Amino acid sequence: MIAIIDYDMGNLRSVQKAFEHIGAEATVTREAKVIANASHIVLPGVGAFKECMKNLEAYDLIDPILKATASGKPFLGICLGLQLLFEESEEHGFGETLKGLGIIKGRVKGFTPTPGKGLKVPHMGWNSIKKKKDSQLLKDIDDDSFFYFVHSYYALPTDEAVTLTTTDYGIDFTSSIESDNIMACQFHPEKSQDVGLKLLKNFKDLD
């Protein structure tokens, strides 16, 4: 059973429907026992980093997430769910550095708009990935495959070895990561049609 963590931030139902489409049992939950008993755990997320961390604290979900990532079970972060795994985030307009979960070393930085070059913020739409290492998560997914992105911030891992794919948007940024049982993608597999469903199936099939 796949537990999709519910903290009132993100398109939870669309993630659940995508897993159900590939034949997986998936439940949306904020119950620590359900998360602990799940075979796979998913942390989705859409919105502001600060509000997401506040909600995770309010619903007492930080400890279940830390236990889940330490358990060895397959764990997948999606979009903001990737960013929350890092130590800190720069949130423009607030003049502060925000503390993340600290599971992956590194920080989250905002894109800089480039007038005249057509690079707008947020980065929104289809873009391709470049594989940096082999992974069961990307089994039978070709290099340069296109996924759907919607984000204004990107992750800067301290250890480049955790970077699974990069994507070009004015800079080559880390678009997915993998460290042992912990995987996360900046793009939305649930919105990425067949290739996204393939990635979710690969995740479901992990032991």
* Residue 116: per-residue pLDDT: 64
- Please identify which of the residues 52, 79, 123, 185 carries the catalytic annotation: 79
185 labelled catalytic: no
- Please identify which of the residues 40, 123, 151, 188 carries the catalytic annotation: 188
Q: Which residues of 108-133 are buried (b: 16+ CB within 10 A; e: fewer)?
A: bbbbeeeeeeeeebebeeebebebbe
Q: Would you say residue 93 has pLDDT above 70?
A: no
d(CA 132, CA 111): 22
| 8-55: pLDDT as tens digits | 887 899 999 999 999 999 999 999 999 999 999 999 988 899 999 999
The domain that holds 198 is classified in CATH as 3.40.50.880
- Please identify which of the residues 40, 151, 185, 190 carries the catalytic annotation: 190
| 77-90: pLDDT as tens digits | 999 999 999 999 99
| 128-185: pLDDT as tens digits | 999 999 999 999 999 999 999 999 999 999 999 999 999 999 999 999 999 999 999 9
40 labelled catalytic: no
| Domains: count for the chain | 1
Chain Cα centroid distance, residue 182: 10
Place of tokens 């990425």: 192
Domain limits at 46? 2-204
52 labelled catalytic: no
pTM score: 0.95
